[in-house]
Amino acid sequence: MSFEFVVPVVVDPDGVDGSAGPRPMNIGSEKQRQQEVARTAGMPITEFKGTSNPYIDYESIDLLLSLQHPRSEGYDEMCFIIMGQAKELLFKSAYFELFNARLRIIDDDLPNALVLLDRTKKIIKLIVGFWDVLSTISTDGFNQFRDYLDVASGQQSFMYRHLEFIMGNKSEKMCAVHKNVPHVYPAIKDNLESPSIYDEVIRLLARRGCEIAPECLNRDWSETYKPHRSVEEAWLEVYNDPGPGNDLYMLGESLVETASTMTEYRSRHFVTVERILGFKPGTGGSSGVAWLRNVVDHRFFPELWSIRSEL
Ligand code: HEM
């Protein structure tokens, strides 16, 4: 594609408060809303004091919308940047849910863990849909801005890595990618060294009476997860009663659904990359499609997949 285009200005960056912290705001109440609606006779408020409004301040919207900076003359770069940033936000949203689902599991609170996992699946499903938009970028369109990425690559996304780690795909190497970033590294290292949600589910199976090998219950959590027969046997026992009355079965199925959706995400990324790049190397130093193929083949919660042949 080659035509003249315009990036419409929506925010004057000079007016934006660039600090990352929450902006001061009043806290409303039902009483105050009743008074307000009486004052406005039911019409929305259209006048505000100062140089901002509460909607902008609540989520720092002007700051958020000032962070899209295409660097090339390529038309598709704006789409690539916005989809990339929106995906990072949704990775964070999924991570928040999984982090708290893990706490619910530690507390033996399965009903709430299942609610949070249900939301997680829906968030990941939403991220899968982003590939519909990103796959509209043609090879030519991508080539117009690719050099501006230098060696930047999604493989350096710490938010995506948080998601992979909490789901159990640990890698010291992928954690070390961030070791020079002092405001990011401690959290990702902590995640690497903590039990994943699956590790906590395995501990829950043990608390519920399944015979799990001790090396699955306490180990160096930063090491790559190795499937274990005792975990397979525990799941086989759980899957003997496959119904909504069996909360462990419901948890197992919820985890498989989450893993499935992540595989869908990785597969769509893989196919989009092959469509855009062919077999050219990635910007991040990898062979590209060949490297990503291994990612697609990985399965989270492996015993929940392997037992299928025995059910
Ligand atoms: C649409 C054009 C895209 C292309 C052509 C592309 C290409 C690639 C390639 C070749 C890799 C392998 C690593 C390397 O760079 O050498 C990779 C990895 C990765 N990309 Fe993309 N990518 C695209 C979009 C995105 C977007 C929008 C995101 C999300 C913000 C993303 C997230 C990732 C992640 C997280 C990895 C690492 C995968 C893993 O470690 O499991 N990619 N990408």
Question: Whole-angstrom Cα distance, residue 125 to residue 107?
Answer: 27
pLDDT score for 2 = 77
Long-range contacts of 235-240 (CB under 8 A, 24+ apart): 235/205, 235/303, 235/304, 235/307, 236/307, 236/310, 236/311, 237/210, 238/205, 238/210, 239/307, 239/311
- The ranges of the chain with pLDDT < 50 are none
The predicted pLDDT at position 302 comes to 98
Residue 153 and residue 292 in contact, taking contact as beta carbons nearer than 8 Å: no
The answer to whether the beta carbons of residues 68 and 78 sit under 8 Å apart is: yes
| Ligand 1 lined by 90 (C-beta under 6 Å) | no
Tell the residue nearest (CA) to atom 33 of ligand 1: 154
Q: What is the pLDDT of residue 112?
A: 98
User: How far is 65 from 52, CA to CA, in rounded Å?
Assistant: 14
Which ligand 1 atom sits nearest the alpha carbon of residue 298? 41
Choice from 173, 264, 269 to test ligand 1 binding pocket (greatest atom count within 8 A of CB) = 269
Assess contact for 243 and 249: CB atoms under 8 A: yes
SS (H, E, C) the chain: CCCCCCCCCCCCHHHCCCCCCCCCCCCCCHHHHHHHHHHHCCCCCCCCCCCCCHHHHHCCHHHHCCCCCCCCCCCCHHHHHHHHHHHHHHHHHHHHHHHHHHHHHHCCCHHHHHHHHHHHHHHHHHHHHHHHHHCCCCHHHHHHHHHHHCCCCHHHCHHHHHHHHHCCCCCHHHHHCCCCCCCCHHHHHHHHHCCCHHHHHHHHHHHCCCCCCHHHHCCCCCCCCCCCHHHHHHHHHHCCCCCCCCHHHHHHHHHHHHHHHHHHHHHHHHHHHHHHHCCCCCCCCCCCHHHHHHHHHCCCCHHHHHHHHHC
pLDDT at 223: 97
72: CA distance to ligand 1 center in Å?
19
**Angstrom distance (rounded) from CA 218 to CA 200:** 10
| Distance (Å) from CA 283 to ligand 1 centroid | 9
